[in-house]
């Protein structure tokens, strides 16, 4: 291998390969974590509905909707933080963000 080929290979691995894999791992984990959180959130809401049915609790639709909106806004903010942080890994930031998008898709 010539010097040009090694330089090109090092550039691609450092600026495209590793940041893409980092973004992929973060995106995959984020998607799995969201699925787990949704599972337990749904379980909690069903538990509240059952408790309301049997007269142990009273669920306010307004409070339930408001809490859900707060959680969704927090998740949007966190997603923005992740993509912004990933964009600082490589010189252009595109490969890590692309990896994040692919990780979200596969997760």
pLDDT at 92: 65
Q: Is the alpha carbon torsion for 35, 36, 37, 40 positive or negative?
A: positive
Q: Structure tokens of 29?
A: 């984990």
Q: What pLDDT is recorded for position 8?
A: 46
**C-alpha to C-alpha distance for 50 and 90, rounded to whole angstroms:** 50
Inter-residue contact 97 to 87 (CB < 8 Å): yes
What pTM did the predictor assign?
0.73
**The pLDDT value given to residue 94:** 79
What is the reported pLDDT for 17?
Answer: 78
The domain locations on the chain are: 22-106
Q: What is the mean pLDDT of each run of 10 residues along the chain (107 residues)?
A: 53 66 90 94 95 93 93 92 84 78 87
Contact 23, 86 (CB under 8 A): yes
pLDDT at site 73: 95
């Amino acid at each position: 291998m010539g010097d040009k080929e090694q330089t090109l290979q090092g550039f691609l691995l450092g600026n495209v390969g590793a940041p893409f894999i980092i973004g992929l791992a973060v995106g995959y984990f984020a998607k799995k974590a969201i699925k787990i959180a949704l599972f337990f959130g749904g379980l909690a809401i069903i538990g509240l509905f059952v408790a309301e049915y049997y007269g142990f609790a009273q669920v306010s639709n307004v409070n339930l909707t408001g809490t859900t909106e707060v959680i969704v806004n927090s998740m949007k903010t966190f997603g923005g933080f992740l993509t912004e942080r990933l964009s600082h890994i490589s010189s252009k930031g595109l490969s890590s963000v692309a990896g994040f998008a692919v990780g979200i898709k596969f997760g």
